[in-house]
Amino acid sequence: MPNLTLSLARGAVTSPFKRAGRPGAALPADRLHLPAAPVAPGPLAAYRTICGFPATGPLPVTYPHVLAFPLAMRLMTRRDFPLPVTGLVHTWIEITAHRTLHPEDRLELTVYAQELTPHRRGTEVTVVTEAHIGGELVWESRSGYLSRHATAGDRPAPQPPAPGLPAVAEWRLPADLGRRYGAASGDRNPIHLHPLTARLFGFPRAIAHGMWTVARCLAEAPEPALLRTVRADFRAPVLLPGTVTYATDGTAFQLRGGGDGERVHLTGTAGTG
């Protein structure tokens, strides 16, 4: 497994030498792989607990992304990756599970960069993650990561306001949530760990991991083990500690918060088909 801490350190060193939005920038053409391996029970149990998934049963639909994230970070911190990883923002994720996955499955993981896209706030890269078992594609995701920089010309319009959904629950998030999720997932990005390290990147306090917010919402589904498709858009960071409202109509979901309780942090949809 690639060392995520080393990747973050490498990204901090190489980022100042990269310029997002450079004309003619190209993505690495190769794909990074991890051979088939069993899921470690300790980290999986910790992940289930921090995200609210059942303690036993199939793998949470988000977990292959967690397993492959160190590989994605190794890709995005390479010298030939055109965007600086420092300041890169996870903007959206789409997940398709082609079958139910179980802890005993030996997943072969592949990560590659698919395309660079102009964004109204900079340049967005799409990173693809695939999981195979015996050569069969069993799970895949696509994620958007935004590198902010000055832009010129026409860019896609900002997202329209999210329609309101019925509030279901209010969650009080502790200050150490980022450290606890980081310990379970391996993602110890400093913006999630402590107010001091978060301020170095422009945040007043530590912020919750975006993938925790998605997983926590999906764990509230009546039968999370049956989920097959997920789309989530990250709209605003969740400051820690804080209070958020989980809202859903059974298919679409939101995480809202802020002083008036109406700032939308996350929108998404999930389905079993």
- Which helix (H) or strand (E) segment is 215 a member of? helix 210-218
Q: Residue 179: is it exposed, middle or buried by C-beta count within 10 angstroms (0-12/13-18/19+)?
A: middle
Cβ–Cβ < 8 Å for 237, 201: no
Per-residue pLDDT of 64-90, as tens digits, reads 999 999 999 999 999 899 888 887 889
Report the pLDDT averaged over residues 31-57.
96
Cα 184 to Cα 178: distance, rounded to the nearest angstrom: 10
Question: Above pLDDT 70, what percent of the chain?
Answer: 90
pLDDT at 16 over 90: no
pLDDT of residue 148: 78
When pLDDT is averaged across residues 103-129 and rounded to a whole number, the result is 93
Q: How high is the pLDDT of residue 261?
A: 58
The whole-angstrom separation of Cα 123 and Cα 21 is 6
Q: Is the pLDDT of residue 11 over 90?
A: no
CB atoms within 10 A of CB 206: 26
**3-class DSSP state of 52:** coil
Determine the pLDDT at residue 22: 72
**In angstroms, rounded to a whole number, what is the distance separating the alpha carbons of residues 146 and 150?**
12
Reading the block at residue 224, the tokens are 């999370």
23 falls in which pLDDT band (50, 70, 90)?
A: confident
Does 114 have pLDDT greater than 80? Answer: yes
The answer to whether 71 and 32 are in contact (CB under 8 A) is: yes
At 53 the pLDDT is 97
